[in-house]
Structure 1
Amino acid sequence: MNLRLAYETRLGKAYNGDSLELLESLDDNSINLVMTSPPFALLRQKSYGNKVGDDYIEWLSQFAAKVKEKLCEDGSFVVDLGGAYERGVPVRSLYNYKILIKFVEELGFHLAEEFFWYNSSKLPSPIEWVNKRKIRAKDSVNTVWWFSKSAFPKADVRNVLVPYSERMQKLLKDSKKYYDPKERPSGHDIGEGFNKDNGGAIPSNLLQIPNSESNSKYLRYCKKIGVKGHPARFPGKLPEFFIKFLTDPDDIVVDIFGGSNTTGEIAELHNRKWLSCDLDNEYVAASAFRFLDSTVTAKEVYDQLVNGQYVDLKQYTLV
């Protein structure tokens, strides 16, 4: 399949085709962040395609090796991977951990940090072990590996601070009442500077983000026009966290399994340049809805894109 530029916006370009071809076309050491959620190694085949077992690991490693060449020295590769079970038994697959080890020990990535995405709105699964036999808890956590090309990738946690807890807010208002600087039993010496207001708390590596989108513009336009939305979208707050954390304005963000192009939309909102690529032409066509402001325009654009035409979205009002 030949790589095709489907549409572009003020800051980004969306491609239809094999993202290995897209990666090959890019300059080495030119990308700041690759943020993606590849098709998971699920036993049940999905409409968007997926492999299983060792075949999956080898398949994904092709992309990772090429990503490493294209990343800047301080660039990052963030991969969201859902959990899975072995076939026919209530035993967890280790595929996501095998990917972690292979990428580090064989491909030369560094594991900058492991993150875990807790999706409180995820439905109970797998049905056999959770719903029917009731011998396993529901799987609500994805592993999100933050790989880096060097040991010191670009990152600034001050860009992703979270609101202080209620107790911390009280401490900042009246430190003498709630705070006693001294050495703790653990041996940590907590000094006077601990009660300084830094604008927010440092986030943990457990990202609590519900994936409960039901009435977004993307889904409304899909419904209005009569096309199927991508079934495995991640919520915008997931790529947003890493885009803000690991990049600066005008940096380049790439999603090699673009799907509905959530990554591109969030990158555009935060003034990052972006590239997105997906094999499925219909998913790419529908992803343009994220950058349009009317269903009339959306129908026209979708028809052009699904028929293989290029569309310059800069002529339309963007989000």
Structure 2
Amino acid sequence: METDPLTHDNPQVFNSGSIAYATLLGTQVVGDSLELLAELAPESVDLFITSPPFPLLRKKAYGNEEQDVYVAWLLDFARLAQRALKPEGSLVIDIGGAYEKGRPTRSLHQFRALLAFVDVLGFHLAEEFYWHNPAKLPSPIEWVNKRKIRAKDSVNTVWWLSKAEFPKADVSKVRVPYSKSMKSLLKDPAKHYTPKGRPSEHNIGEAFARDNGGALPSNLLSIPNSQSNDTYLRACKALGLLGHPARFPSKLPEFFIEMLTDPGDVVVDFFSGSNTTGSVAEALNRRWYSFELDADYAALSVVRFLPPDTSPVRARYLIDGILAGRLARL
């Protein structure tokens, strides 16, 4: 893979795939991610962030593997990603949970995958995150809605894996807004707080009242996936096309891209779907590559990069051109 920034006239060429479109910073490629990952130069990627198809019991239109082969299947992609990572780079992977077939007991696939990443491939678990989606509908229907013997599943595991024990990271880049009480404390520290010892002996000094521009985040990321009328879906509706059914919210890749990379770094998503990752990386001035096996989904994702006033006729022309093999240079 070339290390220079992408340009309109010089998109990266992948021998085993076809380029759907290229922006000033990135490239959407259609093809088998196993083959495309193998073409990336060793130690050339700063961050892989992706959400693979989950091993759900009901087959989905976008494709998903059976539970009994899921870990081995996923390990093949992670092995190639590890090879392409820079020494200080990271792999962030969002894996949702599932139930076992016909039983109200949970599959352990995401935990088995984590153990394989560490024990088989040699990744380090930098930190585990949990993505809480408060807008998620109750599921599965049988155990939650009908029999009412299980609570709603609303949390995905997100494994932050690193190639080395000390990957590049700066959590201060992803500070969150202060609470109302903290804002009051910062306005008048003496009125609201007096430094003193705590029973735990974890004492808080005067630095606690310093304004750092926001609070440090926790590893529980509460991000509603309720973008029912975002730019992508509005474009799909205007075109009369069905969008990708499994999209994660832009705030999820945004958090990790900001924390784990710098402007100009290379970000790769090898299960790109509607290419949320690429659009976020573009907005944050990171170079990016997105790999997607389904040509229709890859072509449709171009709408994320079009100006808001792009007409449906123009958008459809670009999409049809991509599917016909014409590279769209945006």
TM-score normalised over the length of structure 2? 0.93
**Aligned equivalents of 1:88, 1:21: Cα separation in 2:** 36
1:307: Cα distance to partner?
Answer: 2.1
CA contact (8 A) 2:53 2:63 kept: yes
Greater CA drift, 45-54 or 122-131? 45-54
CA distance in 1 between partners of 2:39 and 2:239 (Å): 34
Residue of structure 1 aligned with 2:323, choices 283, 306, 310: 306
- Which residue identity lines up with residue 125 of structure 1 in the other structure? S
2: CA distance, partners of 1:223 / 1:197: 44
Q: Which residue type is aligned with residue 70 of structure 2?
A: Y
Determine whether 1:37 maps to 2:87: no
- State the Cα RMSD in Å: 1.0
Residue ranges of structure 1 left out of the alignment (5+ in a row): 314-319
Kindly indicate whether residue 265 of structure 2 is the aligned counterpart of residue 251 of structure 1.
Answer: yes
TM value normalised by structure 1:
0.96
SS at match of 1:190: coil
Q: Which of the residues 100, 119, 126 maps onto 1:86?
A: 100
Match for 1:298: what amino acid?
A: A
Aligned AA for 1:228? L
Q: Tell me, in whole angstroms, the C-alpha distance in 2 between the residues paired with 1:90 and 1:308.
A: 46
Q: Secondary structure at the match of 1:215?
A: coil
The question of whether the paired residues in 1 share the 8 Å contact of 2:132 and 2:222 is answered with: yes
- AA aligned to 2:192 is Y
1:200 is matched with 214
Q: Could you list the per-position Cα deviations for residues 136-191 of structure 1 after superposition, in whole angstroms to 9, with x for gaps in the alignment?
A: 01100000000000001111111100011111111111111111112111111211
Per-residue CA deviations over 1:2-47 (Å, capped at 9, x if unaligned) read 4111110010000001111211111100100000000001111000
Cα distance in 1, alignment partners of residues 154 and 123 from structure 2: 27
AA aligned to 1:126 is P
Q: Where does 1:98-247 land on structure 2 (aligned, <5 Å)?
A: 98-247=112-261
Q: Is 1:283–2:315 an aligned residue pair?
A: no
Report SS of the residue matched to 1:182. coil
Distance 2:223 2:61 in 1: 25
Q: Which runs of 5+ in 2 are unaligned?
A: 1-14
The match for 2:313 among 272, 286, 296 is 296
Partners of 2:44 and 2:85 within 8 A in 1: yes
* Distance (Å, rounded) in 2 between the aligned partners of 1:58 and 1:135: 32
State the Cα distance separating 1:310 from its structure 2 match.
1.7
Residue in structure 1 matching 2:22, options 3, 8, 11: 8
Identity %: 60
1:95 lines up with 2:109 in the alignment = yes
Q: CA deviation at 1:192?
A: 1.3
Bigger Cα displacement from structure 2, 183-192 vs 28-37: 183-192
Q: Distance in 2 between matches of 1:307 and 1:282?
A: 11
The alpha carbon displacement at 1:297 in A equals 2.0
* Residues paired across the two proteins, number: 313
SS at match of 1:34: strand
Distance in 2 (CA, whole Å) between partners of 1:46 and 1:103 is: 25
Q: Runs ≥4 in structure 1, deviation > 3 angstroms?
A: none
Please give the per-residue CA displacement for 1:96-116, whole angstroms capped at 9, x wherever unaligned.
000011100111000000000
- Residue from 32, 41, 45 that aligns with 1:18: 32
CA shift digits 1:69-120 (9 cap, x unpaired): 0000110100001110000000000000000111001110000000000001
**Is this contact kept in 1: 2:127–2:161, CA < 8 A?**
yes
Equivalent in 53, 65, 90 of residue 51 of structure 1: 65
Paired residues of 2:186 and 2:209 also in contact (CA < 8 A): yes
- Other-structure match for 1:264: 278
